[in-house]
A and B are shown apart, each in its own frame.
Chain A
Amino acid sequence: MAILTGMPMQVRRSLAGWGRTNATVAEVLEVPNHEVAAAVKEAGPRGALVRGLGRSYGDAAQNAGGLVLRLLGSAHQAVLDPAAGTVTVPAGVNLDDLLRVIVPRGWFVPVTPGTRFVTIGGAVASDIHGKNHHVEGSFGNHVTSLTLLLADGSQVVVGPDQRPDLFWATVGGMGLTGVILDATIRLLPIETSRMSVDTTRIPDLEALFTAMSEGDDDYRYSVAWIDLVAKGSSLGRSVLTRGDHATTAQLGPKESVQPFAYGPHQLISVPPLVPPMGVLNHATVAAFNEVWFRKAPRHREGELQGIGAFFHPLDLVGSWNRLYGAKGMVQYQFVVPFGAEDAMRTVIERLSASGAASFLAVLKRFGAGNQAPLSFPAPGWTLALDVPGASHGLGDLLHGLDRVVLDAGGRHYFAKDAHTTAAAIRRGYPRLDEWKAVRDAVDPHGVWQSDLSRRLGLTD
C-alpha cells in the first residue's frame, strides 16, 4: 500500500525530447517554486536542469544521470496588470493555460510558437519565435523582468535594465544560467479572439521569396507551409498564410455574440501503439502534402479563424510525434541571412532529392534579432522540417546541410537541434564565449547541465 508522506516524489525516469530519439535516464522531481533551492542543493556531480513540457525536439530538456526539476505552478497565480499591459506568471505555467485566462480578458501573448504546450520558462530559455517575428521579434523582447534562482541558492531579479548581461544570457540560455522562477511579460491587447487570415498558394520557391519580401510587412503574422517533396518546376511550392487579430468590426453577427470566446480542444490523440516503423513515410507524406496543397485556396482574404486553428493546428492531434514510430523523428531548423537565398534553395533541393519525407515544413522570414548572445533568430530566412529518425543516410544528409547553412553565415536552433556538433554551434554563434563568461560568473561549479550542453560543449 502506498503511504503518502507529503514528501516530494523523486523518480528515476527515462526522458526524451519531442522527437523521441536519444532518451537518457535522470532523477525527476516535481517541486513548487519555493522548494527549488533546497532541491538544487541536493544535486550531485551531474548537476540539475529544469524541464518544462518537453517540447524541445532534441536533448535540451534532459540531464542524463543528474537531477531534472519540473516546476509546479498554476495560471491562476498569474498577476495581470491591465494598466501596464503586463502579466507576471510562474515559469512552470504553459501558454495553453495562460491563454485560457488572458484571452477572455482581451489580451494575447506577445509571441506564440506552433504549439501552446510550452511553459513560460521554456519560452524564455529557448527565446522562442512565432509567425510575428518579422514585426515583433522573439519572446525575450517582450520580457520586462525575470526572477532567477542562481546556482548558489540566491534569487535575483533581472531585466533589460537590471543586470542586463545576465538577463540576455538567460534569454535563449537553454536553462543553463539558473532557474527561471517567474517572468513578467508585456501582453498584446486584442479586440476579439478571432484571426483574420489571408491565404495564397505559391507555385515555387522564387515566387515565395518575392511574395514574403514584398508583402510580409503588411501583416503581423506570416508563415509559409512548404512542400519539400515537390521537385523540379514545383520545387518550393507553398501555401502562404498571413493575418492579424480580427477587430470587432470584422466579426460577423454570430461571432459578435462572444467576441472573446476561446476554448481550444484536441480532436484526437495518437495512441501509444503505432506500429514501430511509424506511419509517416515518403508515400504517405507525399500524398498528404499533395492534398494539403490542393485543398488550400488559390487566394482568399479575410477568412475568420480561431486562435487554435491559426497558430496551433498540430495541437489538434495529441501526441502527433508518435506517428513517426519507435525510431522517432529529427527536427531540423536553421536560419540563413537575407542574400543567402541560394543556400536555402540548395538545402531544399537536397531535401527534395533525398526523398527524406518531411511532414509540414515551414518557411518564415525573420526580422531583426535581439541582444541575447544565444538567441537563434537573425534577419533572414528560416526553415523548419522534420524527418523520420530512421531514414537511411540521414547523418550524411544533415551534416552536409550543416555545411551549406554555416558557409552561408547561418545557424541552428538549440530548441530543435538533435544532431549537430560543437564546432557547428561555435561557427553559428560567434558570441558563445561572451555568453560562457556570464554563465561561468554565476555558475562557477557547473551546477546547470543538460544533455544538450554536454553534446554541444556549451558548459565545457
Chain B
Amino acid sequence: MDNALGEPQTILLLGGTSEIGLAIVRELLSPAARKMILACRHVDKGEQAAAGLRHDALDVAVVSFDGNDTASHEQVVADIAAQHGDIDVAVVAFALLGDGAVTSKDPVAAAAVAHVNFTGTVTATIAVANRMRTQGHGAIVLLSSVAGERVRKQNPVYGGTKAGIDGFAQGLGDALEADGVHLMVVRPGFVHSAMTVGLDPAPFATTPEKVAQATAKGLRSRRRTVWAPGILRFVFSALRHLPGPVWRRLPLG
C-alpha cells in the first residue's frame, strides 16, 4: 500500500535494466519501500542492477520477462502478485530504439520494434492494470516519448510506436480512474543514456535522474501526463503545428 505521502511499498519495473526505468524506481524509494521487482529479458544484467539497490530493509527480486513474448505477460504479472502481493507502482519502461535508417525500410526489422514497443507495452500494461483493478489501488508509469508527439523522419517506426502507446495510455488511464488505478504517461525528450550513445543530442536533452524526479513528483500529485523537462510541453505544442515543409527541415538530430 502507498502511504499518505505517496510512498510506495512494492515497486515493479518492467524493463528491469532500462536506465530511465532504474532511475525512476530508485527515486521512488523511501523508508516505506519494502519490495522491488525487476522484470527483464537478461536476468544476469538484472541481478547486477539488483545488487546495487538491495539493502537490509529492501527485498529486490529479479524475474524473467520478455517484452516480445506478449502471450506470457498476464502470467508473469500474476506470478509476481502471487509471490509479492499488491503492486503499488509499476513502471513500464521496455522498448527498442532500432536503427531508424533500417527499420524505415525493412518490414521485418520494423515489425520486431513495433511488436515489442507497441503490442508488448499494451499487453504488459493491461496485465498490470487488471491486477490493480482487483487490488482497488495502484499506479502505472508508462514511458512514452516526445518522439511520439510529432514523429520525426529519422525514426518513424520508433516514433510511431510511442505515438501509439501514448494514445492507448490516455484512453486506458481514463477507463481506470473509477477503479482507483492511476495511469501516468511520461514523455521525456532526448535522454543521455545507453540507448542514445552515439546519437546527437536534441535540444533540451535531459538525464535519467531528471526524468525520474519529474516522474516521482507527477505521481505524488496524481498527474496524468508528465513532460521531462517540463518546457517540452510548450516546445512541442508549437512544433506540432509547424507547417510540414518547415518541420522537415528542422535539425532535430
- Size of the chain A interface, CB-CB below 8 angstroms: 35
List the A residue with the shortest CB-CB distance to B131.
Answer: A65
Q: A65 vs B4: C-alpha distance in the bound complex, in angstroms?
A: 18
Interface flag for A66 (CB, 8 Å): yes
Interface flag for A289 (CB, 8 Å): no
Q: Which 8 A-B pairs rank lowest in CB-CB distance, beginning with the nearest?
A: A65-B136, A418-B4, A25-B180, A64-B136, A21-B4, A455-B1, A24-B137, A25-B136
Interface flag for A26 (CB, 8 Å): yes
Interface flag for A162 (CB, 8 Å): no
B230 to chain A, nearest CB (A): 17
Among A99-107, A145-153, A419-427, the one that faces the other chain is A419-427
Q: A26 vs B137: C-alpha distance in the bound complex, in angstroms?
A: 9
The residues in B between 1 and 57 inclusive whose CB is less than 8 angstroms from any CB of A are 1-7, 9, 30-32, 34, 57
List the A residue with the shortest CB-CB distance to B2.
Answer: A22
- In the complex, besides A12-B179, A65-B133, A422-B34, 7 extra interface pairs with C-beta distance below 8 angstroms are A19-B4, A59-B1, A66-B136, A390-B221, A395-B5, A451-B1, A455-B9
Q: Which of A24, A327, A389 contacts B136 (CB 8 A)?
A: A24
A417 to chain B, nearest CB (A): 9
List the B residue with the shortest CB-CB distance to A66.
Answer: B136
Q: A402 vs B31: C-alpha distance in the bound complex, in angstroms?
A: 11
Interface flag for B86 (CB, 8 Å): yes
Q: A162 vs B34: C-alpha distance in the bound complex, in angstroms?
A: 39
Contact (A419, B32) CB under 8 Å given A59-B1, A65-B136, A451-B1: yes
Interface flag for A394 (CB, 8 Å): yes
Q: Which of chain B's residues have a CB closer than 8 A to the CB of A25?
A: 136-137, 178-180
Q: Mark B131-145, 1 if CB is under 8 A from A, else 0.
A: 001111100000000
Q: A58 vs B1: C-alpha distance in the bound complex, in angstroms?
A: 12
B30 touching A58, Cβ below 8 Å: no
A62 to chain B, nearest CB (A): 9
Q: A454 vs B178: C-alpha distance in the bound complex, in angstroms?
A: 22
Interface flag for A432 (CB, 8 Å): no
Q: Which of chain A's residues have a CB closer than 8 A to the CB of B31?
A: 395, 399, 402, 421
Interface flag for A307 (CB, 8 Å): no
Interface flag for A46 (CB, 8 Å): yes
A330 touching B57, Cβ below 8 Å: no
B137 touching A330, Cβ below 8 Å: no
Q: A93 vs B1: C-alpha distance in the bound complex, in angstroms?
A: 30
A48 to chain B, nearest CB (A): 13
A388 to chain B, nearest CB (A): 11
Q: A66 vs B135: C-alpha distance in the bound complex, in angstroms?
A: 8
A395 touching B7, Cβ below 8 Å: yes
Q: Which of chain B's residues have a CB closer than 8 A to the CB of A420?
A: 3
Interface flag for A266 (CB, 8 Å): no
Contact (A419, B136) CB under 8 Å given A12-B178, A395-B30: no
Q: From B32, B86, B135, B137, name the one whose CB has the most chain A CB atoms within 10 angstroms.
A: B137
A397 to chain B, nearest CB (A): 10
Q: Which of chain A's residues have a CB closer than 8 A to the CB of B30?
A: 395, 399
Q: Mark B174-194, 1 if CB is under 8 A from A, else 0.
A: 000011100000000000000
Q: Which of chain A's residues have a CB closer than 8 A to the CB of B32?
A: 419, 421
B57 touching A14, Cβ below 8 Å: no
Q: A339 vs B85: C-alpha distance in the bound complex, in angstroms?
A: 41
Q: Which of chain A's residues have a CB closer than 8 A to the CB of B2?
A: 22, 455
Q: A371 vs B179: C-alpha distance in the bound complex, in angstroms?
A: 40
The residues in A between 403 and 418 inclusive whose CB is less than 8 angstroms from any CB of B are 418
Q: A328 vs B1: C-alpha distance in the bound complex, in angstroms?
A: 18
Q: A455 vs B133: C-alpha distance in the bound complex, in angstroms?
A: 18
Contact (A398, B1) CB under 8 Å given A23-B180, A64-B137: no
Q: A26 vs B180: C-alpha distance in the bound complex, in angstroms?
A: 9
The residues in A between 2 and 38 inclusive whose CB is less than 8 angstroms from any CB of B are 12, 14, 19, 21-26
